Amino acid sequence: LRRLAEKLSKTREAFTYQLDRLFLGRKEIDAELFDDLEELLITADLGVTTTRELLDHARRKVHRKELSDPESLKLALKDKIKSFIIDYQRDAELVMPESGPFVIMVVGVNGVGKTTTIGKIAHKFVKAGRSVMLVAGDTFRAAAVSQLQIWGERNGVHVVARADRADPSSVVYDAMDIAKAKNYDVVLVDTAGRLHTQTNLMEELKKIKRVMGKRLEGAPHEVMLVIDATTGQNGISQAKLFHEAVGITGITLTKLDGTAKGGIVANICREMKTPIRFIGVGEKMEDLRDFDPDEFIEALFE
Ligand code: GDP
């Protein structure tokens, strides 16, 4: 737990400590305190709507005389932030199918850490004794294919890849057949994330998803969106786009180690109502944590 708190140190400095500082020596709840709070919450990337909801909740409590001093206001705010995170994260564990390959389609904008996350998830499953296969579904960028191959080598797992800008859905088509034939436990499918030609990208992803389901019943079992925590509110608008196209069932939030904007976690939970499966807290193979809301909140606040 202490290690997670260390990984979140930037957010703790910019948010938790500032929050404590803001309340230091205050005797009264006044308009100025609410203004300062609003600024702090938005800076920590809780987002305008989440911030407004939080402060309205607090104002109502003050109005009803349920909160009378700054200290109790601070506690009420922390509680509400906790509830945003916890309410949408119950039973959020990834559940593998009873038989046959567990297919995870991984989507997200280029640079968010998709390939790295796939490598880290593969590592987790390999360590747990599962057979894993990776699929290079981003045929658009040669670098993406070779990067995935490197992660495959590191993990000692098979990578299905084709060069020359092959049609990604045909790569996935073959991959599903291989997965069935070899009965892999876990199949992680990388996909393209080019932003400029978004419509094409979304059509491509829809097609990949369709092909998966046709070749392998129930696939994909998880459509995992990778979001870069440092991109803040942008990450949320991306999430909505991807969700509209392919229906996100889980989220991995990367780069929480390098950002002061960890407040985005509360915002993502509240806005997306989709479980966060993992958080990325570094570049190495082991730097992927199962997202445990209680542990996260403790590391952030205690
Ligand atoms: P992709 O384009 O989405 O596949 O992104 P990559 O997997 O290539 O990652 C982009 C960069 O982000 C790389 O330099 C990764 O090492 C880095 N990265 C990925 N996840 C994390 C993380 O959790 N923390 C940090 N600090 N860096 C990360």
157-201 residue pLDDT tens: 999 998 777 899 999 999 999 999 999 999 999 999 987 766 689
What's the CA-to-centroid distance between 225 and ligand 1, angstroms?
A: 14
Instruction: Give residues with Cβ within 8 angstroms of 260, minimum separation 6.
Output: 10, 11, 13, 14, 15, 44
**Strand ranges (E), 69-157:** 102-107, 132-137
Q: How far apart are CA 289 and CA 121, in angstroms?
A: 10
**Index of the ligand 1 atom closest to the CA of residue 282:** 24
Tens of pLDDT, residue by residue over 213-256, are 999 999 999 999 999 999 888 888 899 999 999 999 999 999 99
**Binding site membership for GTP: which residues?**
108-115, 190-194, 254-257
The residue to mutate among 116, 190, 242, 256, having the most atoms of ligand 1 within 8 angstroms of its beta carbon, is 116
Cβ atoms 248, 272 nearer than 8 A: yes
What's the CA-to-centroid distance between 91 and ligand 1, angstroms?
A: 27
Instruction: Determine the residue type at 207.
Output: K
Give 134's strand partners.
Answer: 159, 188
Which protein residues are within 6 Å of ligand 1, measured from CB?
108, 110-116, 147, 193, 254-255, 257-258, 280-283, 287
What's the CA-to-centroid distance between 116 and ligand 1, angstroms?
A: 6
pLDDT at 197: 66
0.90 surpassed by complex ipTM: yes
How much of the chain, in percent, has pLDDT values that exceed 90? 69
pLDDT along the chain (302 residues), means of 10: 84 90 92 94 88 94 92 92 84 84 97 97 97 95 93 98 87 97 98 81 96 96 96 88 95 92 87 92 94 88 80
**Index of the ligand 1 atom closest to the CA of residue 254:** 23
- The whole model's pTM is what? 0.92
What's the CA-to-centroid distance between 243 and ligand 1, angstroms?
A: 22
Which sign does the torsion angle of CA 257, 113, 50, 234 carry? Answer: positive
Q: How far apart are CA 211 and CA 277, in angstroms?
A: 25
What is the DSSP pairing of strand 250-254 with strand 276-280? parallel
pLDDT at 216: 95
pLDDT at 186: 98
pLDDT at 2: 61
**Index of the ligand 1 atom closest to the CA of residue 109:** 3
pLDDT at 1: 53
What is the DSSP pairing of strand 288-290 with strand 276-280? antiparallel
Q: How far apart are CA 52 and CA 48, in angstroms?
A: 6
